Amino acid sequence: MKNSLVQLGDYSQQEKKEIVRDYFGPPGAEETPRCPNCGELLQFDVGHAPGGHFQMQVSCPDCHTAFSWEQTEPEQPFKPLYLNYFVERYQRNETIRCPIDDCYVTYAEFSDGVVEFRCLYCNRRGKASVPPGTTDS
């Protein structure tokens, strides 16, 4: 990954990568990552950069260490096999994880039965049709 990490505090590059990855939810991660310096819950301000890339500001309210992260990887498609897996999980109302980095996959539902799946960490996405009436509610 060539994600853009800008140093504003004193986290190591490895700590920053782990914080960002934990934010996107690999298994076993806390609901909100903690500061590696003092243990305080980190604060995340997320949005989109002028070019449309996902970005976040990460800060510790206790020790005031901070950095920014922006998704600068080019958008890539998920393989059809992965999309089939996502549709199966979606239909069962189960958590969907990216097979590339094990982070949470978000999705958007469209009125025509199409669902778009996205991994904000690796910037992969893809659309798939979900047959009507096949989801568990």
Whether pLDDT at 90 is above 70: yes
One-letter amino acid at 103 equals C
Average pLDDT, the chain: 87
Is the CA virtual torsion 87, 93, 97, 99 positive or negative? negative
Q: pLDDT digits over 12-51, tens only?
A: 999 999 999 889 886 656 678 999 999 899 999 999 888 7
Q: Do β-strands 76-77 and 124-129 pair in parallel, antiparallel, or remain unpaired?
A: parallel
Whether pLDDT at 7 is above 80: no
